[in-house]
Amino acid sequence: MLGVILCGGQSTRMGDDKGLLLFRNKTWAQIAKEKLSPLSTEVLLSVNSNQFEKYRLVFKNEELVDDNTELDIAGPLLGLLSVHLKFPKENLLVLACDMLDMQTFVLEQLIHKYVSDKHFEAIAFTSHGQVEPLCAVYSANGLSRIYSAYQNKSLTKHSMMHVLEILDTDFIPAPESWNPYFKNFNLPADLP
Asked whether residue 188 carries a pLDDT value surpassing 70, the answer given is: no
Segment 64-88 mean pLDDT: 95
Q: How confident is the model at residue 14 (pLDDT cuts 50, 70, 90)?
A: very low
Decide: 73 and 81 in contact? Cβ < 8 Å. Answer: yes
> Residue 68 sits in which domain range?
2-190
Provide the pLDDT for residue 16.
63
pLDDT in tens, 130-139: 999 999 999 9
Is the pLDDT assigned to residue 186 strictly greater than 70? no
pTM above the 0.85 mark? yes
Q: How far is CA 158 from CA 17, 78, 172, in A?
A: 22, 9, 22
Q: What is the mean pLDDT of residues 120-124?
A: 97
What is the per-residue pLDDT across 141-152, written as a single tens digit (0 to 9) for each? 999 999 999 999
pLDDT bracket for residue 78 (50, 70, 90): very high
What value does the mean pLDDT take over residues 153-178? Answer: 95
**Residue 98 is which amino acid?**
D
Distance CA 186, CA 13 (A): 6
The interaxial angle of helices 104-116 and 28-36, nearest 10 deg, is: 40
For β-strands 122-127 and 169-173, DSSP reports them as: parallel
How many domains is the chain partitioned into structurally?
1
CATH number (domain holding residue 154): 3.90.550.10
